Structures are given as C-alpha cells and as structure tokens.
Amino acid sequence: GNSVTQMEGPVTLSEEAFLTINCTYTATGYPSLFWYVQYPGEGLQLLLKATKADDKGSNKGFEATYRKETTSFHLEKGSVQVSDSAVYFCALSHNTDKLIFGTGTRLQVFP
Amino acid sequence: GAGVSQSPSNKVTEKGKDVELRCDPISGHTALYWYRQSLGQGLEFLIYFQGNSAPDKSGLPSDRFSAERTGGSVSTLTIQRTQQEDSAVYLCASSSNRGKETQYFGPGTRLLVL
C-alpha cells in the first residue's frame, strides 16, 4: 500500500544552518507530494507541494523536488531561522483522495 | 476568506460518554476530510466526503465512530461510548473539487477521555 517514511527527529540546528529533512514514499501511480508544517500551538499548514515528477515546490525559502527515480521528496532550506522551529510532515495523496502522512520531524533551531 | 473552523476547541469527557465534534469547511469546498492526530499513531485518516458520493469510511477505527455531512457543508464526527484511547486531536480539512488540490486544515478539537 501507499506509505511515507521520514527521518526521525528531533533535528537540532543553529540559526543560519542548512536544513535537510528526508522523505521517501511508496505509492502506486503518480501521487502528489506535500510538506505540511505545524508551528507550536497552531494547526497544520501547507508549506509546499509538487504534483508531478521533477516538479520543485518552494515557499518561505524551503524547497523540495519530486524525484520519481528515488521516490523521494526531501525538504531543504539554506539558512534556517528560530521561527522555523516546528514539526514538519511529509505526505502524499492521489488527486483529492486522503492524505497519507509520515510520522513528522520536529525541528528545533537555536540562536 | 474564512478558513476551516472546528468546535469545540477542547473537549473533556468521561469514558463511556458520547461526543460530537463539528467542522465547518471553507465555503464552496466540496471535499471534506477527518483525521486524527495522536501520540502513538501520528496523523491518521478517518473519513472523506466528496460531494454527493458515498463517503470513504475506510479509516474509521471502529463502529463507535461515525460522521455525517449535512447539505454538503457542515460535518459532525460522533464517537459513541468513548474510550481512553480515543484521546487525540481531531482535525478536519477541506479542498475544492478539482484534482490534486490542497487540503486546508482547521485548528482541531483536542479530545481528552478520562
């Protein structure tokens, strides 16, 4: 069946460090891929998405590229800020079908 | 415009009681989803409504869980005879009818079963 695997956290970084959170998926066909973020005390927000192979999603300095050959959608940011501290969820879906989430990765950025 | 809203924001109940959780989707969104976020299980899909089609109930964990969507808008998730393992944050999301559209989440209802 369909599934998403992402690296366990917490990921602890200093401000301005480079961030990578790995995400790989197993799915039939060509799912859409998403990164959602949950800031402390807030609800889930879409961070970025990609709907087909080789697409790059980007938002707020974060990027992820849909790699079908490696079934991956790794999240990257060149220079993290304290305000990026949150839990990040990788997810997939087929059209308007349900989202299948990874377990989430907590990012902690210290000044 | 207004986002997805959920009520109540917090609910404490005693084991064995029934609870109802409400979701108001974004106006015009025809797809509505319920998810559950708990410490042990992460984010799990529960049920999905799309327009007038029969709902996808494949994620409901037991027959104590049910959901309705009246008039294609507001949805109510009902948990009967609550158990302590039902304690979680229940999230609602909605999306437009078009394929591959983003799901927008509400703030959730935090349920605690004592």
Query: How many A/B residue pairs have CB atoms within 8 Å?
Result: 52
SS3 B90: strand
The answer to whether A99 contacts B35, with C-beta atoms less than 8 Å apart, is yes
- Report the distance separating Cα B110 and Cα B93, nearest Å: 15
Q: What is the pLDDT of residue A13?
A: 97
The answer to whether A95 faces chain B, any CB pair under 8 Å, is yes
The predicted-structure confidence for B57-113, as pLDDT tens digits, reads as follows 999 999 999 999 988 799 999 999 999 999 999 999 998 865 557 889 999 999 999
Q: What is the pLDDT of residue B100?
A: 59
Nearest-by-Cβ selection for A49 from B102, B104, B106: B102
Q: What is the pLDDT of residue B7?
A: 96
Q: What is the pLDDT of residue B1?
A: 56
- Report the distance separating Cα A110 and Cα A106, nearest Å: 13
- Above pLDDT 70, what percent of chain A? 98
Q: How confident is the model at residue B33 (pLDDT cuts 50, 70, 90)?
A: very high
Residue A27 CB contacts under 8 Å (≥ 6 apart), including other chains: A2, A3, A71, A92, A94
The answer to whether B106 contacts A43, with C-beta atoms less than 8 Å apart, is yes
Lowest-pLDDT choice from A5-9, A91-95, A105-109: A91-95
Residue A95, pLDDT > 80, answer no
Evaluate whether A8 touches A107 at the Cβ level (below 8 Å): no
Per-residue tokens: A57:
């999603």
For residue A63, the distance in angstroms to the closest alpha carbon of chain B comes to 17
